[in-house]
Amino acid sequence: MAAVETATKDGTLDAFPSDDERISGPHTGYDKYGTVDHTYWKCENCDVEATRKDALTDCC
């Protein structure tokens, strides 16, 4: 079933999507007062967030 989800427009399959496709960001994080506090990246597969993009290489 996962192969169907990674089908490309030209009909080929992408069995191993690159890290850049599953990791989104950078996103801006805010503190409880609404002030910009940090920048983070998010893994779209497991919803893990990290302040360093390279920390998400083994998340899922």
For residue 43, is it within any domain? Answer: yes
Per-residue pLDDT tens for 26-52? 999 999 999 999 999 999 889 899 999
- Tally of domains within the chain: 1
For residue 3, is it within any domain? Answer: no
Taking residues 8-27, report their average pLDDT: 67
Q: List, in sequence order, every beta strand (DSSP E) within 1-60.
A: 23-30, 36-43, 49-50
Nearest to 15 by CA among 24, 25, 3: 3
Q: Are 14 and 6 in contact (CB under 8 A)?
A: yes
- Structural domain boundaries enclosing 46: 18-60
For residue 11, is it within any domain? Answer: no
Instruction: Please state the pTM of the whole predicted model.
Output: 0.59
